[in-house]
Amino acid sequence: MRRNRTLYKTSGCALVAVLVVLFGMIAILCGIVAVVSLVGSPEATPAPSSATLDLAYSPEKDALMQDIVARFNKANYRTPSGLAMKIVATKMEAADIVEAARAGKFTAISPDSSLWLGQVDAGRDAPLVGESTRYAVTPIVIAMWSDTATALGYPQKPIGWQDLLAKAKSDANFKWSHPSTSSASGVLATLAEFYAGANKTRNLTEGDLQNRAALDYVAALEKTVRYYGEGEAATIDQVLAKGRNYLDAFVVSERMVVYYNSKSSQKLVAIYPAEGTLWQDHPLALLEQPSVTDDQRLTYRRLRDFLLSAEIQKLILQSGYRPVDLNLRLDDPASPIKTSNGVDPAQPHTTLQMPSAAIMEKVQSSWYLAKRPANIYLVVDTSGSMAEQDKLKQAQDALNTFLDQVQGERDRVGLVPFANTVYGTVPPQEIGAQRATLKNKVNLLAANGRTALLDAVSFAYDDLQKRNERDRINAIVVMTDGMENASSINLNALTQKIKRGNQSGVPVVIFCIGYGSDADWNVLNALADATGGLARRADPETIRRLYKILSTYF
């Protein structure tokens, strides 16, 4: 019996040990399952929602928007679930904002005008633009130097588009500009011209846009435009850099006049066209992308309320915009909207009605028919160094894209290849007639020899002067990677010839695209600066946008 009791005791202990081990294993397995359920099962525990708003905004309000975003992010707002509300802001041209929004790249946008919101939704089955609000406004004006405006009768009489047209027709040296219709100020100026041509202030119709008298009026105005530009911010930068010799008058928003006068001793005045003007209204809009979260919507609403707060509305006024908070008086002594800054808080007296998105689209397309056509020479470096790093291939791709995208069939395009010398030139002809010829020539270019850059520019410039086509915008686009080493003319002689020719003959604008680290930027900048053009590095973004950048001037 003792043996049996001992055996039973031993067996019982063994059983207890087995059970302990078994329960331990079960506990471990349960723990593993629990851990897996926490970290390995996204269905069971979804990832935290994002409360960050990706915002694209137009460049003319860059400093203001950076200040606003910094203040918002510093405030450390949080969602009810504790997520930080943050804004990540990106500066982009308004037309590019539309493209990026439609591609799903942002959750909110703030272009310079609500007219772009209609383009975001154009052709879509379901609208992408959700909630929106405006937080700042500024009228479109014609900026003039004070003495120029006085000579036209300012301030004793109202000045309008007709006065601008008469001045440009009577004075061949008068230079004025408005941006292309890829910017709000350009679209709104063109719309104002059509209203003036139709003798209306509201209810502009498609019939008005097709009316021969209105078309002729707009075409007459557009033919006197010296050149178009990338936008009002770029125009102001050029005027700040080059002074009053750059332009006599140009279309911008009122806010830009205030900004310029705060930076320069040479003063501008804002002319509010007698026929009426339109307003940039600077909306903030939420984009209902498929991925947008409820927390991002909360961030949008918090930012909206922040923009409309008294603190930020005062900041907006201090920046030269008119706030939407009507409690803030424009005639307050602290307001920059005052005659001493070249602007008039009592203007504009006549505000034109904003038409439908369909009419706005027609205005843009009508502009291509009414605007000044261009003579464009493409001057292309084919020296031996262009064979390195596929630089010639990149230039060929950029030129082919440019040729494909030229929209105005009246625009004439020619080609000037160069290496040791200028060779194989193609004179400018209407693009529709010789697009294929130019593309074939471009694709056959081969890299060899030295770099007669200045001779090539001189050849194109002389030919444009001989043509003497003053009713056209005349332009030279230079693509090069190297240092000048083979020309018979030197840089000083060429730039002096260009400056004299632009004063006495046909104004020609030069754009330079530099490839690689060997490009001589002293030469490229000097050529561009002599004509009011620009010089850019041939990075992927510049090449992708080459036509958009240059076509704003054409």
DSSP-assigned letter for residue 422: B
Asked if 60 and 95 sit in the same domain, the reply is yes
- Confidence band of 409 (pLDDT split at 50, 70, 90): confident
Rounded to the nearest angstrom, the gap between the alpha carbon of residue 405 and the centroid of all alpha carbons in its chain is 17
Q: What is the CATH number of the domain that holds 444?
A: 3.40.50.410
Asked if 389 and 424 sit in the same domain, the reply is yes
pLDDT, tens only, 230-288: 789 889 998 998 888 889 999 999 999 999 999 999 999 999 999 999 999 999 999 99
Query: Quick count: other Cβ atoms within 10 Å of Cβ 281?
Result: 19
Asked if 120 and 153 sit in the same domain, the reply is no
Instruction: Average the pLDDT over each of 339-348, 368-377, 479-488, 491-500 and give the range with the smallest value.
Output: 368-377
Instruction: Provide the domain count of the chain.
Output: 3
The pLDDT of residue 49: 67
Domain that holds residue 65: 52-137+282-323
Residue 33 lies in a domain: no
Residue 442 lies in a domain: yes
pLDDT, tens only, 410-462: 899 999 999 999 999 999 999 988 999 999 999 999 999 999 999 999 999 99
Q: What is the CATH number of the domain that holds 96?
A: 3.40.190.10
Asked if 448 and 517 sit in the same domain, the reply is yes
Instruction: Average the pLDDT over each of 47-51, 108-112, 546-550 and give the range with the smallest value.
Output: 47-51
The pLDDT of residue 12: 44
Under 8 Å between Cβ of 420 and 486: yes
Asked if 107 and 237 sit in the same domain, the reply is no
Residue 22 lies in a domain: no
The pLDDT of residue 121: 93
Percentage above 70 pLDDT, the chain = 91
Asked if 400 and 520 sit in the same domain, the reply is yes
Residue 334 lies in a domain: no
3-state helix, strand, coil in the chain (%, to 5): 50, 15, 35
Asked if 299 and 153 sit in the same domain, the reply is no
Structure tokens, 475: 């332009």
Asked if 383 and 356 sit in the same domain, the reply is no
Residue 337 lies in a domain: no
The pLDDT of residue 80: 95
Asked if 202 and 108 sit in the same domain, the reply is no
The DSSP result for 529-551, as a single string, is HTTT-EEEE--HHHHHTHHHHHH
